[in-house]
């Protein structure tokens, strides 16, 4: 692996939001508040599902692991981003950059597969409700979760190897706030066409494979909902999927825009805005949009608070 001008030793420097000037302090305050809410909400959801026996079902098991995945994803990116907003350009070693890319890509891919698994869970619940308990048994749930994370790690490793087998030029300034594949790829020397193709194919495989399963699941769900005779019954059935669909649309929309396009179309300001959406905003939607609008979760939250107040009394 050849790295020009000692890039291996000095690593890279994040430029982050340096172009925003005096707005960086405002951005730091905003992102810090959002991150604290995101972290607290996701951890709270994990603990709540763990402690409340009424939530020990496949749906909430998958939801807790999605919250866990989102928490790990943000932990690897946002604290360093916040630090960069305070102290300015931050350096990261070559190995550290590769590690950050591997873990962020792995968790992001795992999220895609977990969302597909959650779509399959909704399909079984709505299309075959009488067989839900027997089909979504604990062994299958564990296998689906394990396969989601294992697949995410494998794709994350593949994306990292595609990028870090390249030679890098004298410039070591990353026009971004973390080691994402597009900005790091833009620093590579020579012809990067094969690497771009590799990233595109891996991204397509992750997004299209998971999106295919989601599409098939929701096609059957839609057909089942349309067969429900009453409007109230159709509304109730669809409401169990609405929050999941909202998160899916935002997650896949941002990921597709970032990774399913050629290197020539990269834009610093636009890409950072999209990156902020899926690193800061999307993880916040998981507990708020998907969980806290759910009646069972709301009931569990009220029960937990009432139990806490009684314990203090």
What band does 168 get if pLDDT is binned at 50, 70 and 90? Answer: confident
Helix, strand, or coil (residue 26): helix
Strand intervals (E) in the chain: 12-14, 90-92, 173-174
Residue with tokens 């070693």: 93
pLDDT given at position 94:
87
| Tokens at 203, concatenated | 């991204």
pLDDT tens digits for range 110-167: 999 999 999 999 899 888 888 898 999 999 999 999 999 999 999 999 999 999 988 8
Distances in Å between the Cα of 191 and the Cα atoms of 45, 166, 185, 261 are 46, 10, 11, 17
Mean pLDDT (the chain) is: 82
pLDDT given at position 117:
94
Evaluate whether 205 touches 218 at the Cβ level (below 8 Å).
no
Pairing between β-strand 12-14 and β-strand 173-174 as defined by DSSP bridges: parallel
Which of these, 84, 111, 113, lies nearest to 14 by C-alpha position?
84
Evaluate whether 124 touches 62 at the Cβ level (below 8 Å).
no
Q: Which of 16-20, 22-26, 111-115, 274-278 has the highest mean pLDDT?
A: 111-115
pLDDT of 195 > 60? The answer is: yes
What band does 294 get if pLDDT is binned at 50, 70 and 90? Answer: low
Evaluate whether 64 touches 294 at the Cβ level (below 8 Å).
no
pTM: 0.85
Residues paired with 90 in a beta bridge: 14
How far apart (Å, rounded) are the C-alpha atoms in residues 160 and 153? 10
pLDDT tens digits for range 208-251: 888 899 999 989 998 988 888 888 878 777 777 777 777 787 77
Domains along the chain? 13-290 (1.20.1070.10)
Distances in Å between the Cα of 178 and the Cα atoms of 9, 103, 287, 298 are 18, 12, 24, 35
Which of these, 61, 78, 76, lies nearest to 16 by C-alpha position?
78
| Tokens at 162, concatenated | 């595609």
What band does 9 get if pLDDT is binned at 50, 70 and 90? Answer: very low
In this structure, the chain runs to a length of 313
Evaluate whether 132 touches 124 at the Cβ level (below 8 Å).
yes
Query: What's the average model confidence in pLDDT over 12-17?
Result: 83
pLDDT given at position 306:
67
Residue with tokens 């990292």: 160
What band does 17 get if pLDDT is binned at 50, 70 and 90? Answer: confident
Evaluate whether 155 touches 97 at the Cβ level (below 8 Å).
no
How far apart (Å, rounded) are the C-alpha atoms in residues 89 and 100? 17
């Amino acid at each position: 692996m050849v790295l020009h001008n000692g890039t291996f030793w000095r690593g890279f420097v994040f430029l982050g939001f340096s172009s925003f000037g005096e707005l960086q302090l405002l951005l730091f305050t905003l992102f810090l508040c959002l991150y604290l809410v995101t972290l607290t909400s996701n951890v709270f959801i994990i603990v709540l599902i763990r402690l409340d026996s009424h939530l020990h079902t496949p749906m909430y098991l998958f939801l807790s692991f999605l919250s866990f995945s989102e928490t790990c994803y943000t932990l690897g990116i946002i604290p360093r981003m916040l630090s960069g907003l305070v102290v300015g350009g931050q350096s990261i070693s070559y190995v550290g950059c590769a590690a950050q890319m591997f873990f962020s890509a792995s968790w992001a891919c795992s999220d895609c597969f977990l969302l597909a698994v959650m779509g399959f869970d909704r399909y079984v619940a709505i299309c075959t409700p009488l067989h839900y308990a027997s089909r979504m048994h604990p062994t299958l749930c564990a296998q689906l979760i394990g396969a989601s994370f294992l697949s995410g790690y494998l794709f994350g490793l593949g994306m990292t190897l595609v990028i870090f087998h390249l030679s890098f030029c004298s410039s070591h300034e990353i026009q971004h706030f973390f080691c994402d594949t597009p900005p790091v790829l833009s620093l590579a020397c020579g012809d990067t066409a094969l690497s771009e193709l590799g990233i595109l194919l891996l991204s397509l495989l992750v997004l299209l494979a998971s999106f295919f399963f989601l599409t098939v699941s929701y096609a059957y769900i839609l057909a089942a909902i349309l067969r429900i005779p009453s409007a109230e019954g159709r509304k109730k059935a669809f409401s169990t999927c609405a929050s999941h669909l909202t998160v899916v649309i935002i997650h896949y929309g941002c990921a597709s825009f970032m990774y399913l396009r050629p290197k020539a179309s990269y834009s610093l300001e636009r890409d950072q805005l999209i990156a902020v959406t899926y690193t800061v905003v999307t993880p916040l939607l998981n507990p708020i949009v998907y969980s806290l609008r759910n009646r069972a979760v709301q009931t569990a939250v009220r029960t937990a608070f009432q139990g806490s107040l009684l314990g203090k009394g």
